[in-house]
């Protein structure tokens, strides 16, 4: 179980993150992990087996991670979903577990949609027949409402997205996570412990401030034994549409993503330039890849997506 191991910075008498005493023992006072331990589900959870059965019809589960917010993680998740679903033989599910900042409904053109309930559970909201989406965003009466939830409630809804949704047969489940390593990450690692996670794709900008958090993200994955499929550098450069000169807006000061990937022995999947049309497509909820197929950013996305596809083709 990923959370049974004591973290390196645990106090001397740490009761262990998965024990009933976790976060509550006197040794926990002052420990930076106190809150996480207190809210993480304890002991063998009977729901894990139910989730395993429910998700036995899902071939591959992929987490999309980033160290920081605003680096393009949800945008990448959405474009990956759009790109995969352009093959009508591939079934895709997108799960948005960024409970407090769900942007997937907007980016995928589903704002204002609602979840339907049937005898077999909640139905995802469909962009098209082979692309279903689940997000807390569909449950809010008003998209501008703030979701202010503590850990246990967030854990509960994430569990429901896996256990109570009628996902049907899926080739890929893409899970868009919040930035950083928080309750949600521990929960998803825990809930999918029995069913297995194929791997994580990490998104970053070339800037050291983003890379420094990505290193923590990679360390988290290693600790909870989630394989890393690779890292994507987003917002890598900007080509001025007038003078055609390229500027490094988020300039790398420590060698950038490629060097970090080499240093940390993980796969570098490629880079995507800054392109204001990506932002525009997100706001309009349409596929950037369909809208601007000849753009360098589209080609960059597709090269990366092909790498990911190849990984699974080789695996199958």
Using the rule CB under 6 A, give the single segment among 12-20, 134-142, 155-163, 275-283 that binds ligand ADP. Answer: 275-283
CA distance 282 to 289: 11
In the complex with ligand ADP, the residue whose CB is nearer, 14 or 203, is 203
Answer yes or no: are the C-beta atoms of 117 and 6 closer than 8 Å: no
**Smallest distance, ligand ADP to C-beta of residue 70, A:** 5
CA distance 5 to 28: 15
CA distance 71 to 203: 7
The answer to whether 279 contacts ligand ADP (rule: CB under 6 A) is yes
CA distance 163 to 74: 23
**Smallest distance, ligand ADP to C-beta of residue 255, A:** 20
In the complex with ligand ADP, the residue whose CB is nearer, 51 or 95, is 95
CA distance 149 to 141: 16
How many residues of this chain bind ligand ADP (CB under 6 A)? 19
Answer yes or no: are the C-beta atoms of 305 and 81 closer than 8 Å: no
Quick one: which of 48, 108, 274, 289 contacts ligand ADP (CB under 6 A)? 274
**Smallest distance, ligand ADP to C-beta of residue 119, A:** 34
Q: What is the DSSP letter of 146?
A: -
CA distance 33 to 115: 35
Q: What is the 3-state secondary structure (H, E, C) of 53-120?
A: HHHHHEEEEEEEEECCCCCCHHHHHHHHHHHHHCCCCCCEEEEECCCCCCCHHHHCCCCCCCCEEECC
**Smallest distance, ligand ADP to C-beta of residue 97, A:** 12
282 annotated as a binding-site residue:
no
**Smallest distance, ligand ADP to C-beta of residue 71, A:** 4
The site string for ligand ADP over 224-263 (x = CB under 6 A, - otherwise) reads ----------xx----------------------------
Give the CA diameter of the chain. 63
72 annotated as a binding-site residue:
yes
Q: What is the DSSP letter of 255?
A: S
259 annotated as a binding-site residue:
no
Positive/negative CA dihedral, 188, 191, 193, 196: negative
**Smallest distance, ligand ADP to C-beta of residue 135, A:** 13
**Smallest distance, ligand ADP to C-beta of residue 206, A:** 12
The site string for ligand ADP over 92-131 (x = CB under 6 A, - otherwise) reads -----------x----------------------------
100 annotated as a binding-site residue:
no
Interaction with ligand ADP in 161-220: which residues (CB under 6 A)?
none
Using the rule CB under 6 A, give the single segment among 45-53, 66-74, 117-125, 191-199 that binds ligand ADP. Answer: 66-74
3-state secondary structure of 280: helix
The string of DSSP letters for 160-229 reads HHHHSB---SEEEEEEEPPSSS-HHHHHHHHHTTTT---EEEEEE-SSHHHHHHHHHHHHHHHHTTPPEE
Binding residues for ATP, by number, are 67-74
Binding residues, by number, are 14, 28, 31, 37, 67-74, 240, 243
Residues lying near ligand ADP in the complex (CB under 6 A) are found at: 66, 69-75, 103, 234-235, 272, 274-276, 278-279, 282, 297
């Amino acid at each position: 179980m990923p959370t049974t191991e004591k973290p390196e910075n645990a106090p001397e008498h740490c009761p262990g993150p998965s024990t009933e005493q976790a976060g509550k023992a006197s040794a926990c006072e002052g420990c930076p992990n106190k809150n996480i331990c207190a809210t993480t589900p304890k002991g063998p959870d009977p729901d894990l087996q139910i989730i395993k059965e429910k998700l036995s019809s899902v071939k591959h589960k992929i987490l999309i991670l980033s160290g920081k917010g605003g680096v393009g993680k949800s945008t990448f998740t959405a474009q990956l979903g759009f790109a995969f679903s352009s093959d009508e033989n591939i079934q895709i599910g997108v799960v948005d577990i960024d409970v407090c900042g769900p942007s997937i409904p907007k980016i995928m053109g589903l704002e204002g949609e609602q979840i339907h309930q049937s005898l077999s559970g909640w139905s995802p909201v469909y962009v098209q027949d082979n692309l279903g989406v689940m997000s807390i965003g569909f449950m809010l009466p008003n998209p501008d409402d703030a979701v202010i939830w503590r850990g246990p409630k967030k854990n509960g809804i994430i569990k429901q997205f896996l256990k109570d949704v009628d996902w049907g047969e899926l080739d890929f489940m893409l899970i868009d996570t919040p930035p950083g390593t928080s309750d949600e990450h521990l929960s998803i690692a825990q809930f999918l412990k029995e069913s297995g996670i194929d791997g994580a794709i990490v998104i970053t900008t070339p800037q050291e401030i983003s890379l420094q958090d990505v290193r923590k993200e990679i360390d988290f994955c290693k600790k909870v034994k989630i394989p890393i499929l690779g890292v994507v550098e987003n917002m890598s450069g900007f080509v001025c549409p007038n003078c055609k000169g390229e500027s490094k807006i988020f300039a790398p000061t420590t060698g950038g993503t490629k060097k970090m990937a080499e240093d940390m022995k993980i796969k570098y999947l490629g880079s995507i330039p800054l392109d204001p049309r990506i932002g525009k497509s997100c706001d309009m909820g349409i596929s950037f890849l369909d809208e601007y197929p000849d753009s360098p950013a589209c080609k960059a996305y597709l090269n990366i997506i092909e790498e990911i596809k190849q990984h699974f083709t080789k695996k199958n």
